[in-house]
Amino acid sequence: MHHGRGVLLVAVLSTVVASVIGCADGAVDDTVRGQWHGAIEVPGAPVVVAVDFTGHRSGVIDIPAERVDRRALADVVAEPRRVEFGVPDVPGEARFAGRLDESAGAIVGDFRQSGHTFGLTLNREPVAPPARPQQPVPPYPYVSEDVSYPSGNITVAGTLTLPADATGPVPTVVLVSGSGPQDRNEEIAGHQPFLLLADTLTRAGYAVLRTDDRGVGGTGGNLNQADYTDLAGDIEAGLRYLRDRPELDPDRIGLLGHSEGGYLAPLVAARPENGIAFTIMMAGPAVSGTGIILEQGRRSFTEAGATPGQLDAHRVFLTNWTAALRAGQLTKGARLSETYNRTLPPDLRGPSEALTGQNTPYMAALVSYDPAPALAALRGPVFAFYGSKDVQVPAAQNAQPMRDLLAADMDATVTVFDGLNHLMQPAGTGLTTEYESIETTIDAVVLDAVTGWLGARIPLS
């Protein structure tokens, strides 16, 4: 579910770098030392990296799309005729092996991870980041204000955007992010979907609140130690803050949740005391967290070339692992995943570790959650939509259950947008490795659908 980052989301490929030593006469050769730039040649979805050789046996790597900043490399060998290194804390035994091509002034080699091999060429010149034509840039034609407020014993920080020319109290959209530690812009793979949504909706006349998750940016706490009671409480704290703002209409506040946010938004909206005026779910799951994990495990193993027997064994493992987490047996869950993942070949170990590497109260809350009661209890305007190429919250798994659960709501709309992925980008395969290379952050068809749906139900005057 994202996004990212976190779970309900499948990990995106990482990368490279090293240091330098030695030449034929025994003198230290610093030819390789310093900064290098390149892109792992994942078909259709290159992953941009920057490498700084900081010493003869040391180096660090930046992966901007994954917000990896100067991570130390392991097992560095950096000689002009031999450049090798490993990337620690990355599933699938990520390693690079290559050499310096002095005539080209480049380090040329192969990057291997989870049984796959991709070319990687490092040059001295930086790689231009992918274009982001939808990225909002200041000056904005509206007010953008950093805000903070208490939620229990922590402080939640975020940004509130307000139309500059409003003549009376305006309706407000509260954005609820997907799984894992997200910042207020929900940054993933070089995109900032929540910044774009906030900009679009505020230009259309709505106030928008977006916040950092626990432990991110200006928000306190630790997301891994939080459960859904805590996270729903953070949303409710935001509602109390907004209702104290005189420029906002307290009776026209709604929620827009993306991915796992599509769990949390209905959970809060289904409580009548919260007075939620509307609910929007962007790739929100309609089946249990365990159901999402089982489908993600099946898909990731299928993509990695697992045999039918390996697929069956993986489903049995995931069933046992999620059962342990649902029972609150986090130590048992960690032991199960560590033991099982050690038995897998490298091409399967990476996808499995990416999905089962977290054995925390937060993950236990996710796999334990059943959205059915909250969804069935929703009343008032509801808009749920999916991308047909979403591999993280597949439309085929979730759209019809969502329709069934919302059947008692007289104003519920469920839509599947053709050709879009989990971020609502126009996609090829829909795989997470494509996110960075796609220039579009959110397809304009989706932005128009959201503003049009809101305008028809929550008018500005």
Strands 279-282 and 248-258: parallel
Distances (CA, A) of 306 to 300, 341, 389, 429: 9, 14, 21, 19
- pLDDT at residue number 350: 85
Task: Report d(CA 314, CA 322) in Å as an integer.
Answer: 12
Q: Which phi and psi (to 5°) does residue 457 adopt?
A: -115, -30
- pLDDT at residue number 8: 34
Q: Give the amino acid at 327.
A: A
CATH code at 1-129 = 2.40.128
Q: Which residues pair with 415 in a beta bridge?
A: 385
Contact 109, 124 (CB under 8 A): no
Task: Report d(CA 192, CA 141) in Å as an integer.
Answer: 19
Task: Report d(CA 436, CA 441) in Å as an integer.
Answer: 9
Nearest residue to 265 via CA among 412, 374, 413: 374
- Residues 47-97: tens digit of each pLDDT: 889 999 898 799 999 987 777 789 999 999 888 999 999 998 777 788 999
SS3 320: helix
- pLDDT at residue number 94: 86
Q: Which CATH class is domain 142-287+371-457?
A: alpha beta
pLDDT along the chain (461 residues), means of 10: 41 31 47 93 83 90 81 92 89 88 95 88 89 95 98 98 91 97 95 98 98 98 98 98 97 98 98 98 98 96 93 98 98 97 90 92 98 97 98 97 98 98 96 90 98 96 73
- Residues 124-136: tens digit of each pLDDT: 999 887 899 999 9
Token pair of 390 as six digits: 């979403």
Task: Report d(CA 171, CA 251) in Å as an integer.
Answer: 8
- pLDDT at residue number 214: 98
Contact 455, 171 (CB under 8 A): no
Token pair of 290 as six digits: 């365990």
Instruction: Count the helix, strand and coil residues of the chain and give each as a percent rounded to the nearest 5.
Output: 30, 25, 40
Per-domain boundaries in the chain = 1-129, 142-287+371-457, 289-366
